[in-house]
Chains A and B, each alone.
Chain A
Amino acid sequence: MLKVNEINVNYGNIRALKGVSLDVNEGEIVTLIGANGAGKSTLLKTLSGLLKPKEGTIEYLGKSIAGKPAQTIVKAGISHVPEGRRVFANMTVEENLELGAYLRNDSAGIRQDFAKVYELFPRLEERKKQLSGTLSGGEQQMLAMGRALMARPKLLLLDEPSMGLAPLLVQTIFRIIEEINRDGTTILLVEQNAHMALSIANRAYVVETGKIVISGTAEELQASEEVKMAYLGGH
């Protein structure tokens, strides 16, 4: 479904991604793990059109999307839940969700998806008139995910959804990610919490200083000594 081939991405003169290649197949959960500053968010931003690759190609459903504007990519079915949630704090929960459906005109379908999102995250329905800036961190994460789902994506990019959440909530979020995947949405998940990410993923990539250094199935990575040492706390 998604084929990234040898992309280089720069911030000014600093090269943040160096020849990164990866694939995501339809229906999968693929996770991308790596330390702070490895380039995980940079990769997601390049996929969603916030950054343009200097070299390399990105193919999605057979079409090149490298360097295309973000709205074209959202329209094509890729939604990105950014690191740190980035909800519109000055707007209500409901307005945030409406913005998620910004490019759609099928009001019946939008209503359906509102119902679906509220079913997935009942907390959001209870708080739909509340300003999203006053939500708790966990609720904001739910809102950011719900907002992305309102675009009815085929591929969902999630950047550190567990960041700053209590363990119980992390479990809930990961359960919901699996549920979204079961409903037919392909997922590319960036995580620091490698343990949790590998437990739900089909395949995984490890990024270090702008390069993919290890890739394989989730089981292979869970078993790999190198990954255990560096990302799974050494047991």
Chain B
Amino acid sequence: MEWIQQLVNGISLGSIYALIALGYTMVYGIIKLINFAHGEVFMIGAFIGFYAIGGWGLSFVPALLLAMAVCAIIGVVIERVAYKRLRNATRIAALITAIGVSLFIQYGVIYIRGAQPEAYPNVLPSKTFEIFGVNISSQSLLILSVSIILMIILQFIVHRTKMGKAMRAVSFDAEAARLMGINVDRTISFTFAIGSALAGAAGVIFGTYYTKIDPLMGVIPGLKAFVAAVLGGIGIIPGAMVGGLVLGVVETVVSAFGYSLWRDAAAFIILILILIFKPSGLFGKNTREKV
């Protein structure tokens, strides 16, 4: 029964990767940019949650919503200030800009509050349930439910709302979308807002689950979420969800077999394998453009 517990841990970790990966994939889908500053939005979300819970005494859900709202705004500002003017520039210019934004945010946060890590306040009840002989912590369950709820809301927005349909239209063919009267700039802003809000939520969830945060915490989860997005097929929303879960489970299994030093390497081995054997990702068609 040990392995079911590991599976639950893996899925919890994976759902955090999935939430971050969704932002990567949505932004890539709409402007073909790998937003390397996305991991930093995740970090900012974690800090907003930290101050909201520890400083202002908010409980988990209000802190989560606040972090999502602030991150949404930050995401929109990043796009407006840094990426918008590069829409017709070469990809490499946009990529370098994204890395620049990422470093700017990391060291901006260090400049403002210092580099010291923080211990996340404990907001969630930490009970352990026994279900069919398997011990599952209430935290894992809560994190999993929050992630699932957010993904369901996202699916609803993307498939049922006007804005979501506009997003899909712009990512498929921006010029044809303009002919429908869709405001492409506003749709891109909306995409950044949604993707960044999900990253912010992931930050708060990560903080509550792993209890330690610091200004460079976005780098590794950011990279792994990127791997998850590529694994699922970049630009494809369900792909990011599945890619995140698969990656989380693989990492946990690798640690469980006693190879915890290999945990981080596992993600990058997966990235290399997927780029060699199926560059369009699990959900991608093989004709898609490669990353």
Contact of A71 among B162, B169, B172, B182 (CB under 8 A): B182
B181 touches A102 (CB 8 A): yes
Q: Which residues of chain B from 123 to 180 have any CB-CB distance to chain A below 8 Å in the complex?
A: 162, 165-166, 168-169, 172-173, 175-180
Interface membership of B183, Cβ < 8 A: yes
A82 at the interface (CB under 8 A from B): yes
Find out whether the CB atom of A50 lies under 8 angstroms from the CB atom of B168: no
User: With a CB–CB cut-off of 8 A, which chain A residues contact B183?
Assistant: 69, 71
A71-B183, A88-B172, A88-B173 known; A102-B178 Cβ under 8 A: no
- A6 contacts partner chain B, Cβ-Cβ < 8 Å: no
A: interface residue count bin: 20 to 34
Contact A71 B178 (CB under 8 A): yes
A50 CA / B172 CA spacing, docked (Å): 17
Asked if A50 contacts B178 (CB within 8 A), the reply is yes
A50 neighbours in B (Cβ, 8 Å) = 175, 178-179
A103 to B162: give the CA distance in the assembly, Å: 10
Report B-chain residues with C-beta under 8 Å of the C-beta of A70.
178-179, 181
Closest to A133 in B: B172
Q: Which residues of B contact A39 (CB under 8 A)?
A: none
Interface footprint category on B: 10 to 19
CB-based contact B168/A102 at 8 Å:
no
Min distance, Cβ A144 to any Cβ of chain B, angstroms: 9
- With the chains together, A89 CA to B171 CA distance in Å? 11
- Whether the Cβ atoms of B181 and A88 lie closer than 8 Å is no
Residue A52 at the chain B interface, CB threshold 8 Å: no
B-contact bits for A15-53, CB 8 A (1 contact / 0 none): 000000000000000000000000000000000111000
In the complex, A74 Cα to B184 Cα: how many Å? 14
- Which among A70, A98, A148 has the greatest number of chain B C-beta atoms within 10 A? A70
Give the residues in chain B near A82, CB-CB below 8 Å: 175-176, 179
> Quick one: closest A residue to B173, CB to CB?
A86
Give the docked Cα–Cα distance between A127 and B182 (Å): 25
- A150's nearest neighbour on chain B, judged by CB, is B180
- In the complex the two chains form, what is the Cα distance from A144 to B239 in whole Å? 29
| Chain A 60-97 per-residue mask, 1 if CB under 8 angstroms from chain B, else 0 | 00000000011100110001101000111111000100
A74 neighbours in B (Cβ, 8 Å): 179-181
17 further contact pairs, Cβ within 8 A, besides A49-B178, A88-B169, A102-B162? A50-B178, A71-B181, A71-B183, A75-B181, A79-B179, A82-B175, A86-B176, A91-B168, A91-B172, A95-B165, A99-B166, A99-B177, A100-B180, A102-B180, A102-B181, A103-B180, A148-B179
A-B contact pairs, 10 of them (CB 8 A): A49-B178, A50-B175, A69-B178, A71-B182, A74-B180, A82-B179, A87-B176, A91-B172, A99-B165, A102-B180
Chain B residues packing against A (C-beta within 8 Å) = 162, 165-166, 168-169, 172-173, 175-183
